[in-house]
Structures are given as structure tokens and as C-alpha cells.
């Protein structure tokens, strides 16, 4: 997906600063009290943007992914390609995941999010177009003891500010938000602050088929997500979808092939139903 995985042009290094900055936030919050360096044990803080280079991405490969799966989610083993996908994302690779509904797609970013947070790498941003899905996912994670939250129009101003404080401190493991909020200059400024302090761990783009103009679910806001890579080239991303029609898959494959993202396509084939008609018994 070119819009999701496109590499920044050389000119991006010299782009002007955004019109909004973190200092413009409209509530009383002391950002100077936040850590100015990455957590102990991780790489030294870098105050300038660097060119995209997978070798410079931070990895959490020392974490025990099976323990997270068992202790947090209660599953004894990974299913299908889950382990490969989760290991790749945890290691800091970009990934494109096509997996049918019910295949365990959410675990492909939730397990890496927990592993990377435990390694001191910060917050995972989950981009989702559906408020109901955000509520369901966050509710389930909180019940499992995973600190997660969402930012959407269902919150009051005070509630949104509290969650933003949690995000900016790096205490949140996962934050769910819609694409139109993520690309808002105010929110982008907060992400920039997180990234500069080494606390933006991972970006997960759910329902990623919305970037394809072939599909009836196409959303213009998803095309704007390319700026995430331009601003945060060393933050890994995983794009996930359960939609697998031929046109959409071809479009997604073509747009992502240039990026070097690893591609994982689970089996979508299902046997055709068979019907047998037999003679009925006598009345």
C-alpha cells in the first residue's frame, strides 16, 4: 500500500515544522515534566529525523512472546501464521497482514504492543475506522489487565484530556484512534513529542483495505496516513485487513511491494457447500 508504506522523499528531511506544536495544547499540562530521553536500556534519544533504515529500528526481541500469549490472553499456542507475524512485528519490521475474520488478526499487533511496551519502547497507536470496534477492543484489553484506551467523539473533553496525558507519559500500552484524528495537526504534534522521547513504539493500521479505491469501504482519510512514515520513519507499522477480493488484494500488493514490508496472507479458501437430495420416504 503506497499510502501506508511509502518511503519519504529526500525533501522530507527539510520540511517545515507543523503549524501546531505541543506547546499549543489548550489545557494545563506540564510537558516539561515528561522524560526527555528514552527509557533506560534503550537507544539514546535522537532529536532529529533520520532516513528510514530498518537496521536503526528498535526491537523487543528479548521478550517471551509465548508467555504473553499464555499469561495475558490465556491461549496455549499461536495459530497459523500468528507466530511469524508477531515475531516480525515485535522485531520492528513493517508487515502487511491479510487474515480472515476469526483468524486472530488483533493478536498480531496486541502481543507485539505488550512486548515492546515491556521493553520500554512506549505506546502502540492503533488506527481503526469504527468506534464500536475501538470500544470492544479496549474493553477486552482492560479486562485482561492491559492498559489501553481510545480517543473518539464519544468522550467528554475532560476524558479525552486524561487519556492524552496517559498517552504522553508513555504509560498506555495501546491507544485506539480514527484516521481523521491521527492526521489532525494537534494530534500529530503529540505523536512527534512521543517519537522524540522514544515512546512511539508501533503503528497498527486496522481495516487497511480502506486505502484501496477498488473497494466500497474506501476512505480518503486512510490516504493521508502516508505522512506517518514521513514523520516517523523508524517507527514500524503493521497494516491488517480481512478483506481479500481479487481487486483489493492486487491493489494492496502493488502499493506495498515497493516498501519492503513483509507480506503475510493466510488461507481464505473455504470448500464450496455440497447439497445432497435424496428420495423421501413414503407418507
Q: What average pLDDT does the structure give for the chain? A: 77
- Scanning the structure block, which residue is given the C-alpha cell 423421501? 280
What is the per-residue pLDDT across 185-205, written as a single tens digit (0 to 9) for each?
A: 999 999 999 999 999 999 999
Q: CA–CA distance from 220 to each of 47, 180, 189, 229 (Å)?
A: 31, 9, 21, 17
- Scanning the structure block, which residue is given the C-alpha cell 490516504? 223
**What is the secondary structure of 30-79 as a DSSP string?**
-GGGS-SSPPTTSPPP--S-----GGGS---TTS-HHHHHHHHH--SS--
How far apart are alpha carbons 136 and 148 in whole angstroms?
Answer: 11
Copy the grid coordinates of residue 65.
512472546
pLDDT range class, residue 107, cuts 50, 70, 90: very high
Q: Give yes or no for a contact between 191 and 231, defined as CB atoms under 8 angstroms apart.
A: yes
Q: Which of 54-58, 153-157, 253-257 has the lowest mean pLDDT?
A: 253-257
How far apart are alpha carbons 253 and 35 in whole angstroms?
Answer: 40
pLDDT range class, residue 259, cuts 50, 70, 90: low
What is the per-residue pLDDT across 155-186, written as a single tens digit (0 to 9) for each?
A: 999 999 999 999 999 999 999 999 889 989 99
Mean pLDDT of 221-245: 84
Q: Which domains does the chain have, with CATH numbers?
A: 79-265 (3.40.50.300)
- Structure confidence at residue 105 (pLDDT): 93
- Structure confidence at residue 16 (pLDDT): 43
User: Which of 136-140, 179-183, 253-257 is most confident?
Assistant: 136-140
Mean pLDDT of 33-46: 42
Contacts for 180 with CB less than 8 Å, ≥ 6 apart? 221
Share of the chain above pLDDT 70, in %: 66
pLDDT at 26 over 60: no
How far apart are alpha carbons 96 and 168 in whole angstroms?
Answer: 27
- Structure confidence at residue 44 (pLDDT): 33
DSSP state of 93: -
Amino acid at each position: 500500500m503506497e499510502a501506508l508504506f511509502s518511503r519519504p522523499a529526500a525533501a522530507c528531511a527539510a520540511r517545515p515544522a507543523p503549524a501546531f506544536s505541543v506547546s499549543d495544547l489548550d489545557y494545563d499540562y506540564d510537558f516539561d515534566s515528561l522524560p526527555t530521553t528514552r527509557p533506560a536500556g534503550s537507544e539514546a534519544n535522537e532529536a532529529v529525523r533520520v532516513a528510514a533504515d530498518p537496521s536503526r529500528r528498535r526491537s523487543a526481541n528479548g521478550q517471551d512472546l509465548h508467555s504473553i500469549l499464555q499469561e495475558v490472553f490465556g491461549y496455549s499456542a499461536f495459530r497459523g501464521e500468528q507466530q511469524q507475524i508477531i515475531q516480525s512485528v515485535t522485531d520492528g519490521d513493517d508487515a502487511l497482514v491479510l487474515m480472515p475474520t476469526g483468524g486472530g488478526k488483533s493478536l498480531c499487533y496486541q502481543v507485539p504492543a505488550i512486548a515492546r511496551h515491556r521493553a520500554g519502547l512506549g505506546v502502540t497507536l492503533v488506527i481503526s475506522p469504527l468506534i464500536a470496534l475501538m470500544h470492544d477492543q479496549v474493553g477486552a484489553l482492560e479486562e485482561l489487565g492491559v492498559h489501553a484506551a481510545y480517543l473518539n467523539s464519544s468522550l467528554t473533553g475532560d476524558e479525552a484530556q486524561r487519556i492524552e496525558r496517559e498517552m504522553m507519559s508513555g504509560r498506555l500500552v495501546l491507544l485506539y484512534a480514527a484516521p481523521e484524528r491521527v492526521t489532525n495537526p494537534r494530534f500529530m504534534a503529540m505523536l512527534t513529542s512521543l517519537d522524540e522521547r522514544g515512546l512511539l513504539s508501533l503503528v497498527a493500521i486496522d481495516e487497511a483495505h480502506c486505502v484501496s479505491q477498488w473497494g466500497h469501504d474506501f476512505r480518503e482519510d486512510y490516504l493521508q496516513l502516508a505522512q506517518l512514515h514521513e514523520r516517523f520513519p523508524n517507527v514500524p507499522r503493521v497494516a491488517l485487513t480481512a478483506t481479500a477480493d481479487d481487486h483489493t488484494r492486487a491493489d494492496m500488493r502493488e502499493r506495498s511491494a515497493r516498501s519492503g514490508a513483509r507480506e503475510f496472507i493466510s488461507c481464505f479458501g473455504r470448500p464450496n457447500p455440497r447439497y445432497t437430495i435424496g428420495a423421501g420416504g413414503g407418507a
